Amino acid sequence: MSTVPGQAIFRDVPEPRRIGLSQKVWNSRFDYLYVAPALIVMLIVIGYPIYYTIELSFFNTPASLALSAKQFNGLDNYVTILTSPVFWKVTWQTVLWTVLSTFFAFMIGLGAALALHREFAGRGVLRALLLIPWVVSAVAASYVWKWLYHSDFGAISAMLTQVGWIDKPINFIDNTNTSLYALIVVNVWKEFSFAMIMLMAGLQTVPDTLLRAAQVDGASPWQRFWHVTFPHLQGVSMVTLLLLAVQNFNSFIIPWIMTGGGPAGSSDIWITHIYQLAFGRQRWGVASAYAVILFIVMMVLGYFYVRALTKGDDARAAG
């Protein structure tokens, strides 16, 4: 590729060995035109809010959001959060929610991807059907599941009763012991198909010849999976797990619509808690400080995410 004739044409100016940064910037001035519109939009709707959230987190802002009356209060908002028992409860629930949802969505997705890998009649239809929860809006999903879980007329309780496993309807989401887990089931339902398509694409990169060679050498299906397929899936698994974890950490719709974080905060996670603090109780400063802490946590996760995504990006670069 490096010997393709005409490659030099792509460089507007013949490049001397050592060249100053400002010179480089000037040489690629037209490149920036391509990204400028995107950057301007992102600066307005991303850069500015980030800056403003950080600022608000150091102030006490009146409930009316009258910004002229806001008072600087240093780290008070942060202290309020970190010394509150609710913070640790919500953090623990967020960890449970994120880890369990990610784990089960990934494992079910992996199982489905492996089962769907081989060609059989109706495979395309089946794959499409399994993908539907992921396309359907979380709002629709939340309402349907709320109805399925209904404490008096819920279909799930009714089914379990008819099979004879329970005597009377179970209260799934109005119960402090079960609400979080009931919501995790909904979340897994919504998300496993994402893991499924990612891993199906990953499976296509596993060389058939290797699998056949292993089979000829007498490897059992499990050995073939563990020693041949699985190592090939590591890259895509990393990306999938990270994306799922981020998505789950940021969930809002399912807990908000189904329980609003209740009952008694038993299904509250960070995002719903922040929303409640800001738009429910108008504690703008504390909510902003929460958002900043969240921001920092995400930066750490984000580092790994971007590293996983851009791996090999530079190697593939073109003129």
Partner 1 sequence: MTMELSAGAAKRRGAGGWRWSGRIFLLLLLGFTVMPMIWMFITSLKTGFAAMQYPPQWWPAEPTLENYWRLIDPSGNVGRDFIQYFWNSIWVSTLTTILAVVVAVPAAYAFSRFRFPGRNFLFFAVLLRNMFPAVVFLVPLFILMKALGLVNTHGSLILTYLTFGLPLAIWLLKGFYDNIPVQLEQAARIDGATRFQAFFLIVMPLSTPGIIATSIYSFIGAWNEYIYAYTFLTRHDQMTLPVGIQRFFSENATDWPGLMAATFMMSIPVVVLFLVLQRYFVRALTEGAVKH
3-state secondary structure of 72: strand
Give how far Cα 118 sits from Cα of 55, 114, 124, 125, Å. Answer: 55, 8, 11, 14
Q: Which helix (H) or strand (E) holds 7?
A: none
Torsion of CA 15, 18, 21, 24, to 10 degrees: 0
Closest to partner 1 by CB, 116 or 180: 116
What CA–CA distance (Å, rounded) separates 207 from 224?
12
DSSP letter for each residue of 81-108: HHT-HHHHHHHHHHHHHHHHHHHHHHHH
3-state secondary structure of 130: helix
Q: How far is the CB of 74 from partner 1 (least distance, A)?
A: 19
Closest to partner 1 by CB, 180 or 236: 236
Closest to partner 1 by CB, 103 or 275: 275
Q: How far is the CB of 233 from partner 1 (least distance, A)?
A: 10
Q: How far is the CB of 152 from partner 1 (least distance, A)?
A: 6
Q: How far is the CB of 256 from partner 1 (least distance, A)?
A: 8
Residue with tokens 């059989």: 120
What CA–CA distance (Å, rounded) separates 197 from 116?
10
Q: Could you say which DSSP state residue 70 is in?
A: -
Q: How far is the CB of 234 from partner 1 (least distance, A)?
A: 12
Closest to partner 1 by CB, 204 or 209: 204
What CA–CA distance (Å, rounded) separates 18 from 178?
64
Q: How far is the CB of 69 from partner 1 (least distance, A)?
A: 14
Closest to partner 1 by CB, 21 or 264: 21
Q: How far is the CB of 271 from partner 1 (least distance, A)?
A: 5
**Which residues are registered as beta bridge partners of 60?**
71
Q: Cα angle vertex 282, ends 279, 284, to 5°?
A: 95
Closest to partner 1 by CB, 96 or 158: 158
Closest to partner 1 by CB, 75 or 107: 107
